[in-house]
Amino acid sequence: MGNSINISGYLGRKARYIEPPVGSCDADAQTFITAAGITDATQIAALCQLVVDLKAGGVWNDLNALYPFVGGTATTHSYNLKNPVLYQIAWFGGVTHNTNGATFNGINSYGNTGYNESLIETSSNTHRSVYDRSTLADSRCQIGVANGPYNGSYQRNYIYTNYSSNYYMDCYDNLDNYGRLTGANGGSNAFWLHSRTSSASGAMKAYKNGVFLKQSTQTVYGIQPILVTYIGALNLNGSLHEPTFHNLASASMGNGLSAAQITAYYTALQTFQTTLGRQV
């Protein structure tokens, strides 16, 4: 926006003066843009609109970490849009960073978020999401953490978008049929989200592109993992496990979201990805 002449002030005081342009970007978006060093005009506009849309949809306050993977570098992709000074990702292994987001090598690559949900969330109030741009089945984890015996304690919170053409989403289940939601994925290139909003039966729900897929049939059973969440792999007892080779264009963690919030979240995020030319 250019400078403007205040005509009323000119006429009233017989002296012309120039008003500075009024900023149009949300302050929280600008904080991220400055911290991450984003300079591309299209990316800046997309980020500004994303934050405005998330706030208008009532989603913003329930996000603890949102990684928009914008800017095309390991550094810009490491920052948390919700609060750039918290939960910055440390990248390991062969992660490729470009304008499409972060692409993992399926061997030794992952991002350590430093996000320990047991210190931040409650077991009855959580969500995880990833925006996956890949289609091939890799039977690997896109975001997650688990501690205790892998097939025993079940202290875990994760998303697998394409495990033999099925999705798997787990949240604190002591038995697989308590907190695990699974089904045919219909293609993994999508926005995937699971949300738990209470400890009641049916409160754990899975969504694809904002559309409800399935809900749990049991009350919450189990406890939260006490380790940090990995992106691009599962943090299993503090070790890298089942790293993906998919390309992710965003990921988030935070409080449980209602159906209306999830619809608003998908709409806002899809607008963002479309502006950047990487929507699926």
DSSP 7-22: HHHHHHHS---EEPPP
CA-CA distance, 95 to 102, in Å (whole number)? 7
Q: Which alpha helices (DSSP H) does the chain contain, by range? A: 7-13, 27-36, 41-56, 176-179, 259-275
For residue 221, the SS3 value is strand
Task: List, in order, residues 6 or more apart from 274 with CB less than 8 Å away.
Answer: none
Whether pTM > 0.75 for this model: the answer is: yes
Q: What pLDDT is attached to residue 15?
A: 37
**Which pairing describes strands 155-163 and 143-147: parallel, antiparallel, or unpaired?**
antiparallel
Buried b (16+ CB within 10 A) or exposed e, 94-128: ebebebbbbbbebeebbbbbebbbbebbebbbbbb
Which portions of the chain are predicted below pLDDT 50? 1-22, 150-151
Q: What pLDDT is attached to residue 14?
A: 40
**Which pairing describes strands 239-241 and 228-231: parallel, antiparallel, or unpaired?**
unpaired
CA-CA distance, 43 to 24, in Å (whole number)? 14
